[in-house]
Each structure stands twice: as C-alpha cells, then as structure tokens.
C-alpha cells in the first residue's frame, strides 16, 4: 500500500502557524516579485480569488474582503517542509518516505493491516498537525497513482472526509475511476488530456478499458502502460530515494524593477553565481559549464503583445570548479557579451552543468598548495554565511545596495531561521 501526504495550501498553512489569528480567515501568498497568487486558503478560494492569477487583478477583491496577503517567504517554507518530512520519517521510517516536492511525500505503508489504514491515516494526520502546526491530507491506495486520486478526494470535502481517504476495495476503485476525469490523473498533462477527450476517453475508467496496444501507441509507450496498470491497482511506479545530487543547478530571479544599467546586471549575475556555487559545494560537486541569461521586458504595441527576448550564452570552464571567484569571473564576461545598451531587462539567471563529484577532480601539481586548498576557504565562507545569514560575507562584485532586488513588500518574518525575527509572545 502507498500513501501520499499533501500539505493543505502549504504556504498559507506555514503563515498561519505563526499567525493563529488568521485561522478560518482568507489568506493568499504571492509569487516572486509579488507578481501572482501561488497559494490561497479555502476561504480565499470561496471569495473567488483565482490561483496563479496576477495580484494586481485580484487586488480590489483582496482589499474588499480584507484578505491577509504575504510575499513568498522561502526560508520559512523550506524549514517547515523539513519539519513535516522529518515527522513522517519518524512515523513510518526514513526508508519508507519519498519526498516528492516541498509539500508532498509518498509513503510505503505496506506494514499496516488493511482494516487499520483509515485509523492509521487519521492518526498520522493528527500527529503531523500537532507536531508542526501544518494541516495535511492523506490518501492511501494500492498504487501511487491511485493514492494521488485518493488524496484529491480527501481534499474535495474536508469536513466529510476529515482530510483522509483510502481506496482499497476493487469495487470502490472502479466507481471512483468512473468519476475521475482524465485531466485529474497524475501524470496526464493538459495536452494528453485534451487528446484523450477528443478521442472520447473522458474518465480514468475509460482509459483503463483501452487495449494495451492502443495505450503503447497513443500514451507514451512504456510510461503510458505503467500509468494504466497503476490505475488498475498494479504497482509499477516504485518509491524513489531523495535526489541529493543534482545534474544541473540554476539560480534565477526577477528584478524588483526593470534594469537598464550593465553594472546592475553584473551585480545580479555575480550574486546568482555565488548562490549557485554555494548549492554546488553543498552537494560536494564541481561544474565545468557555466551559462548566463537575461530576459528583456515585454513589448506591447496597442493590441499586440510579445514576450521579451531571452539573451543567453555559455562557456566551458578551463577546469571544473566550485570556487565562487572562479565562477564569477567568466560570468561577468558572459554578462558583458549578452547585454545590449538601451534595453530594459526584467530577469537574469545563472546555470551550472557538467556537474561531477569534487573528488574526481585532480589537484594541479604545478600550482602552490594554497591554490589547491581554495575549497577550505569556500567552506569557511559558507559557514559564516550560514551562521550569520543574509550573505554577511560576499564578493564586492555582488554589490552593496542591490537596488535591483525582488520586491517583497508583504514578507512575514523568517521565524524559524533568524534569531532577530523570532515570534514574540506577549
């Protein structure tokens, strides 16, 4: 048996943990640069606040109903996510937990007897909420795909289900699949869903009854066949270990305002490169390819609208490295190459690829030992920044004022990761 634990309106739930006065009140969280709504509570949903809708369009509705609004606080959300996942690992064992996303985890609950699954799921939900303050929904079924459908049912009517749903019996699975749209199946994207509906396949049950040859031909071969078997209750998608070593690392951000000056672009690129280098060192790796890009602002001519152009380039480094200054220097040259004077830019980013373990890179016998020991310097830099926070030590090329930084007008305190932002109780 597989279970999925999904945090309810996760970002909003994190904000409510430290703002209990917002319980049962409408809450929304905005994306980077306070652009779009990326999380909304059930109360905000009932008011008609649209998910992923632009904030400026919903602003009148939000102010009219006094909806609590927050900028994204990823330091807080990341720490709260870790607490939820650690709780689940305590409950079912670390080897039985697959962290699927910041607010979702698959669990292997095969050790629990079938007639005890409902009570076990309820107990799990209560413990997670009690220990972390974050509200969750639990779906349990024989396969991961069916567990996702069960989780959707648990969220559909929270008062009736108590945020828990199990799909175990064959008759029950059949009836639920008949009511599940193909667009609601985990792994079926919008394009595939539209194709299936055009072919007259509107429900998950319809899809289950299609011939295997047809599935192979029209639904992605082996991947589609696995999906259909999962819907039939045959486990085909196994639990996966958490991805700890990434094959590509990127740091990208929107600017707080459109940028026209090359120095501002270079400051942003240097800052993002330093951040990418820190991520690289955290997984004890080095990179051999560095890419830089900037995105121009949108162009609007009366009724016509076009997305801003993305200008990018890359370089292969002389030697794979994770040392920040060895990454910043070529990044600055790339930024100068792609910058066009007179343009306005809204976003920039850095990507590192060609990633390998740092133990696979041989030291240079012809360089002084101090050059080969730069990793020690970088470790000291990372430790200082981790303990003191907010890039207390940084390279001058990253800038001091950083007027281009993202807008975060409504960000809450980072309660769990900054001593000077601890929640005050009076």
pLDDT at residue 126 is higher than 70: yes
CA distance between the termini of the chain = 46
Q: State pLDDT tens for residues 316-353.
A: 999 899 999 999 999 999 999 999 998 899 999 999 99
Of 121-125, 139-143, 401-405, the one with minimum mean pLDDT is 401-405
Check residue 36 and report its DSSP letter.
B
Burial of 9 (0-12, 13-18, 19+ CB in 10 A): buried
Confidence at residue 366, expressed as pLDDT on a 0 to 100 scale: 67
The pLDDT confidence band at residue 408, using thresholds 50, 70 and 90, is confident
User: In 3D, which of 306, 328, 324, 325 has the Cα closest to residue 315?
Assistant: 328
Mean of the per-residue pLDDT values of the chain: 89
Confidence at residue 308, expressed as pLDDT on a 0 to 100 scale: 74
- Containing 17, the helix (H) or strand (E) segment is helix 10-17
Can you tell me the distance from the alpha carbon of 342 to that of 261, in angstroms, rounded to the nearest whole number? Answer: 9
pLDDT at residue 363 is higher than 70: no
For residue 303, how many other CB atoms are within 10 A of its CB? Answer: 5
Confidence at residue 370, expressed as pLDDT on a 0 to 100 scale: 59
Can you tell me the distance from the alpha carbon of 96 to that of 277, in angstroms, rounded to the nearest whole number? Answer: 32
Can you tell me the distance from the alpha carbon of 155 to that of 136, in angstroms, rounded to the nearest whole number? Answer: 9
Domains of the chain, earliest start first:
1-165 (3.30.70.270), 169-242 (1.10.150.20), 249-398 (3.30.1490.100)
Q: State pLDDT tens for residues 163-173.
A: 999 998 888 89
Which whole number is the average pLDDT over 305-319?
84
Confidence at residue 399, expressed as pLDDT on a 0 to 100 scale: 84
Confidence at residue 192, expressed as pLDDT on a 0 to 100 scale: 86
Which whole number is the average pLDDT over 307-317?
89
Can you tell me the distance from the alpha carbon of 403 to that of 416, in angstroms, rounded to the nearest whole number? Answer: 27
pLDDT at residue 274 is higher than 90: yes
Confidence at residue 157, expressed as pLDDT on a 0 to 100 scale: 84
DSSP string, 106-147: EEE-TTS-GGGHHHHHHHHHHHHHHHH---EEEEEESSHHHH
Which whole number is the average pLDDT over 62-87?
94
Can you tell me the distance from the alpha carbon of 64 to that of 66, in angstroms, rounded to the nearest whole number? Answer: 6
Structure tokens belonging to residue 357: 């373990």
Can you tell me the distance from the alpha carbon of 126 to that of 121, in angstroms, rounded to the nearest whole number? Answer: 9
Confidence at residue 338, expressed as pLDDT on a 0 to 100 scale: 94
Q: What is the pTM of this model?
A: 0.82
pLDDT at residue 364 is higher than 70: no
What phi and psi, each to the nearest 5 degrees, are found at residue 170?
A: -60, -45
Of 41-45, 185-189, 248-252, the one with minimum mean pLDDT is 185-189
More confident residue, 375 or 274: 274
pLDDT at residue 301 is higher than 60: no
The pLDDT confidence band at residue 62, using thresholds 50, 70 and 90, is very high
Confidence at residue 304, expressed as pLDDT on a 0 to 100 scale: 55
Confidence at residue 64, expressed as pLDDT on a 0 to 100 scale: 93
Give 141's strand partners. 2
* Residue 328 to residues 113, 269, 271, 383, 393, Cα–Cα distance (Å): 56, 8, 9, 20, 15
Confidence at residue 299, expressed as pLDDT on a 0 to 100 scale: 66
Q: State pLDDT tens for residues 212-242.
A: 888 888 888 888 889 989 999 888 888 776 6
Confidence at residue 398, expressed as pLDDT on a 0 to 100 scale: 87
pLDDT at residue 373 is higher than 80: no
pLDDT at residue 372 is higher than 80: no
Confidence at residue 220, expressed as pLDDT on a 0 to 100 scale: 81
Confidence at residue 245, expressed as pLDDT on a 0 to 100 scale: 74
**pLDDT > 90: percent of the chain:** 57
Which whole number is the average pLDDT over 291-311?
75
pLDDT at residue 424 is higher than 90: no
Q: Dihedral sign, CA of 355, 358, 363, 368?
A: positive
């Amino acid at each position: 048996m597989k279970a999925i634990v999904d945090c309810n309106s996760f970002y909003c739930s994190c904000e409510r943990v430290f703002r209990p006065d917002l319980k049962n009140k409408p809450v929304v969280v905005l994306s980077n640069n306070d652009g779009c709504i990326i999380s909304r509570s059930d109360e905000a949903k009932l008011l008609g606040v649209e998910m992923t809708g632009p904030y400026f369009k919903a602003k009148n509705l939000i102010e009219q109903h006094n909806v609590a609004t927050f900028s994204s606080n990823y330091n807080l959300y990341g720490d709260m996510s870790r607490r939820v996942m650690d709780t689940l690992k305590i409950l079912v064992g670390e080897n039985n937990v697959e962290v699927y996303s910041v607010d979702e985890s698959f669990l292997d609950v095969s050790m629990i007897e079938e007639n005890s699954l409902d009570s076990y799921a309820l107990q799990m939900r209560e413990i997670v909420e009690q220990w972390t303050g974050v509200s969750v929904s639990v779906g349990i079924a024989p396969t991961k795909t069916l567990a996702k459908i069960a989780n959707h049912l648990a969220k559909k009517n929270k008062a009736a289900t108590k945020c828990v749903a199990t799909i175990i019996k064959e008759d029950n699975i059949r009836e639920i699949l008949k009511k599940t749209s193909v667009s609601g199946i985990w792994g079926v994207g919008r394009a595939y869903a539209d194709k299936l509906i055009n072919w007259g396949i509107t429900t998950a049950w319809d899809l289950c009854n299609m011939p295997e040859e047809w599935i192979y031909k029209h639904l992605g071969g082996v991947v589609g066949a696995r999906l259909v078997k999962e819907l039939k209750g045959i486990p085909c998608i196994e639990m996966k270990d958490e991805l700890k070593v990434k094959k590509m690392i990127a740091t990208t951000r929107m600017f707080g305002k459109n940028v026209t000056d090359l120095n501002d672009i270079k400051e942003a690129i240097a800052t993002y490169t330093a951040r990418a280098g820190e991520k690289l060192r955290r997984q004890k790796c080095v990179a051999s390819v560095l890419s830089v890009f900037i995105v121009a602002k949108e162009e609007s001519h009366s009724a016509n609208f076009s997305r801003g152009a993305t200008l990018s380039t890359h370089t292969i480094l002389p030697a794979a490295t994770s040392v920040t200054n060895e990454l910043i220097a070529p990044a600055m040259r790339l930024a100068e190459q792609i910058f066009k004077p007179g343009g306005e830019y809204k976003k920039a980013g850095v990507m590192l690829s060609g990633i390998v373990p740092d133990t696979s890179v041989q030291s240079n016998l012809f360089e002084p030992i101090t050059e080969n020991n730069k990793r020690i310097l970088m470790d000291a830099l990372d430790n200082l920044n981790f303990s003191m926070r907010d890039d207390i030590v940084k390279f001058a090329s990253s800038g001091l004022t950083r007027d281009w930084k993202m807008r975060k007008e409504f960000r809450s305190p980072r309660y769990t990761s900054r001593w000077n932002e601890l929640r005050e109780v009076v």
